[in-house]
Amino acid sequence: MTIATALPRQRRRACDMTAVQDYQYQPLANDGNTRFIQLYPAAHFEDPIRVDIVERAYDASKTQDPASYEALSYAWGSDEDSAYIFVGANSRLRVRHNVIQILRYLRDGITPGCTARTLWIDAICINQADDEEKGKQVTMMGNIYACATSVLIWTGEPGCDLQALQRSFEGQEKEKTLLWIWTPANNEILRLMQFFATGWFTRRWVVQEIMHAREAYIITGSDTMQWQQFRVFVKHLESMFSYEVLTPHVTAILQHLSNLTALKPKI
């Protein structure tokens, strides 16, 4: 997280009183730069999202004033139910519903005393209407993830508490766990496999984003798990299963997870 200049009260009032216009992207001043959002806190979870969009260099080796930021890794989601976020004093930007929800949860996690959270999110920080800019920025994405203080892996809204499942599994002997998992009255494993079979876990670009990360965190709603903890969790899952009794679909998911969690963020 980054401490940034607080959004002045006068500007918040001006945002309500001034005619709000659609946000206009300006060309990047330098090919080595990108945009970042400064996400501001709010009193209530459902309050409108308010951000500033700023242009900065991201690579500390090429500037004396690099941005300190977290980079988001997530599934793009549907164009349906898009909504506006508010940029600066009097601009608005339409973004996808899942990005709105991501920003709400990340905003809710701003450390007390901090005035903003600095993030890189491709859907906002790259002008999606400018194909030339998109082409240049896409070639830089590996470096953008590598220079971030951490990569935040958004898997979705609440629905699968990985930490609770891990504690539950670790508290049982292997034979009892297998019986417990496949008891028809208990659908925890089915819910878990559905969770792993959708969204972020099926994206193509996650390998690049994890391999370049200094540090990575799995985020599901308000819950967070370090990538290293998640790797241990998946290994624990693998050790509990006899692959002979699994369906091909579940086997494929577990093998994909095993390959994915073999990736180690750089130190």
Give the residue among 201, 231, 188 at the shortest CA–CA distance from 75: 201
Considering the entire predicted model, what is its pTM?
0.80
- The pLDDT of residue 5 is 43
- The pLDDT of residue 165 is 62
Stretch 195-217: mean pLDDT: 80
Task: Note the pLDDT tens digit of each residue in 31-42.
Answer: 889 999 999 999
Strand order of the sheet with strand 70-73? 21-22, 91-95, 83-87, 50-57, 33-39, 117-120, 70-73, 150-156, 216-220, 223-226
Q: How confident is the model at residue 179 (pLDDT cuts 50, 70, 90)?
A: very low
- What is the number of residues in the chain? 267
| pLDDT of residue 3 exceeding 60 | no
The residues pairing with 36 across neighbouring beta strands, listed in sequence order, are 54
Stretch 111-128: mean pLDDT: 91
